[in-house]
C-alpha cells in the first residue's frame, strides 16, 4: 500500500475486494 501502515494496508485491500 502507499501512504498507509501495514495494518491499514490489509483494510485497504479488503475495501478494494468488497468493491
Residues 4-16 pLDDT 10s: 556 666 677 777 6
Residue labelled with grid coordinates 501512504: 3
What is the structure's pLDDT at 11? 72
Query: CB within 8 A of 15, min separation 6: which ones?
Result: none
Evaluate whether 4 touches 15 at the Cβ level (below 8 Å).
no
What is the structure's pLDDT at 1? 47
pTM (2 d.p.): 0.06
| C-alpha count within 13 angstroms, C-beta hemisphere, residue 17 | 6
Q: What burial letters (b/e) apply to 1-19, b meaning 16+ CB within 10 Å?
A: eeeeeeeeeeeeeeeeeee
What is the structure's pLDDT at 5? 59
What is the structure's pLDDT at 17? 73
Amino acid at each position: 500500500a502507499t501512504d498507509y501502515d501495514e495494518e491499514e494496508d490489509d483494510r485497504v485491500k479488503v475495501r478494494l475486494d468488497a468493491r
